[in-house]
Structure 1
Amino acid sequence: MAIQALLLSSSRAGNTPYLEHTLPFIAPLTATARKWLFIPYAGVSMSYDTYLEAVVNGLAPLQLDISAIHQHGDPKQAIRDAEGIIVGGGNTFHLLHELYRYDLLHLIREQTEAGKPYIGWSAGANIAGKSIRTTNDMPIIEPPSFTALGLVPFQVNPHYSNATLAGHNGESRAQRILEFTCVDPLTPVLGIQEGTALYRQDDSLSLQGDKEAYLFSGVEQEIPVPVGSDLSHMLSAQA
């Protein structure tokens, strides 16, 4: 496989402008890919045109040619014609529902495996894992399946934080992920903090950014993954 996949935890880091922190991560993938297709299906509370405008403005320093899939009469052909695929954040359930609705999931995986670069943040990073069972989002719509792209053979949890609010008695993020690993102890979960990303290039996988990640696997819970770690061994995680 010739996969090039950049899985960003978030579209913002702290109070920085929209997508600004992602530019150094994204730039290497645009050296030869200039014509990009944006998939805005995770954006539920805004129009797709508004979402596209925000992404075009945010990535303007890279001088890319970006169109959105809803602007094309044939979504499948639009994916084939693009030189790279961008999937934005929002609601993961709605995103996956629409990808199934238009029968695009297999095609995106096929194109990505053939070498077409994939960039996703938040929900767009969530769907790059085995399934969306570790998303943070509310299930506002029911997709036909929780099975996702599988660009990495484990679960991704973007926006990872185990912070809790004083006086709030709900479960922490780590406790929620523990529930997952109790049910599925063979599938690892990698929590990536805002401002960081996972980058897969062929058979290598690395943690990018200036914050550690956290690994959950079976009885091993919230194991810190140092900044800059080589995570290539996780690509052989049980499918």
Structure 2
Amino acid sequence: MKNLIIASTSTLHQGKPLDYLSQEIKNLYKDSKEVLFIPYARPSGITHEEYTSRVRSIFNKLNIKIRGIHEFNNPIEAIKEAEGIFTGGGNTFLLVSQLYSNKIMTVLSEAVKSGTPYLGTSAGSNICGLSMQTTNDMPIVYPPSLQTLGIIPFNINPHYLDPEPSSIHMGETRETRINEFLAFNNLPVLGLREGSWLVVKNNTIILKGKLSARLFKKGQSAIEIESGTDLSELK
């Protein structure tokens, strides 16, 4: 019954927020009169109200109503009654911490697994994997657990960047960081490049977008996964 879009990013270079996903979003929420927005990933430079207002203006153009979860007295009931859910980007540590502190991590997972349409971008995509350990974000807060929704049987690294051959930067590449994770964890990691997303329908997981993705597995060389590939058996 699962029905998700798991996107690397909300905004492409020189594009407007969610423009490249507009038709996918319309299809995802075609039976939803109102979508519940979870703004918890945004740090204190912007309020939940401001973040939700920005998202509302984008969804208004798609004729979809948005309501922030912070507008409800009971976030648990808000999740259970939602016709559709969107979790936006920001800081994954903050997002996970807020989901646990509001006691909705499990509730959200159960709702999405039961068929509530879900869109995640960036941090909102990170939490769809088994853990948030392959995030790119700074640990600005300390969540009680690194375990996340477990909607898909592998981890996501959104905003995946390839090493730049001409760069003089001597720090770790994204590939290095992911391999550090795999040194201690036996869990596939999919590096989603900008403009790529996963469409999850029931037990089917399909890579979409113009670019390939980068798949990492413990003890193996990373490989390219072409758009259109079925990743349902990846685990």
TM-score by length of 1: 0.94
Offset, 1:21: 1.2
Whichever residue aligns with residue 169 of structure 1, its letter is M
Contact 1:20 1:59 in 2 (8 A): no
Offset, 1:167: 2.5
Q: Which aligned pairs between 1:122-141 and structure 2 lie closer than 5 A?
A: 122-141=122-141
Residue in structure 2 matched with residue 179 of structure 1 by the alignment: 180
2: CA distance, partners of 1:228 / 1:32: 25
Residue in structure 2 matched with residue 24 of structure 1 by the alignment: 23
- Please tell me the root mean square deviation across aligned C-alpha atoms, in Å: 1.2
SS at match of 2:110: helix
Residue in structure 1 matched with residue 188 of structure 2 by the alignment: 188
1: CA distance, partners of 2:59 / 2:19: 8
Structure 1 gap segments, 5+ residues each: none
Q: Which aligned pairs between 1:94-109 and structure 2 lie closer than 5 A?
A: 94-109=94-109
Structure 2 gap segments, 5+ residues each: none
2: CA distance, partners of 1:143 / 1:20: 32
| 1:36 and 2:38 correspond | no
Whichever residue aligns with residue 37 of structure 1, its letter is L
2: CA distance, partners of 1:14 / 1:203: 32
Aligned residues between the structures: 233
Offset, 1:166: 2.6
Contact 1:19 1:59 in 2 (8 A): no
Offset, 1:46: 0.9
| 1:197 and 2:197 correspond | yes
Whichever residue aligns with residue 27 of structure 1, its letter is K
SS at match of 1:80: helix
Offset, 1:25: 2.1
Contact 1:154 1:188 in 2 (8 A): yes
Residue in structure 1 matched with residue 167 of structure 2 by the alignment: 166
Residue in structure 2 matched with residue 87 of structure 1 by the alignment: 87
Identity of aligned residues (%): 38
SS at match of 1:163: coil
2: CA distance, partners of 1:7 / 1:113: 14
Offset, 1:81: 1.9
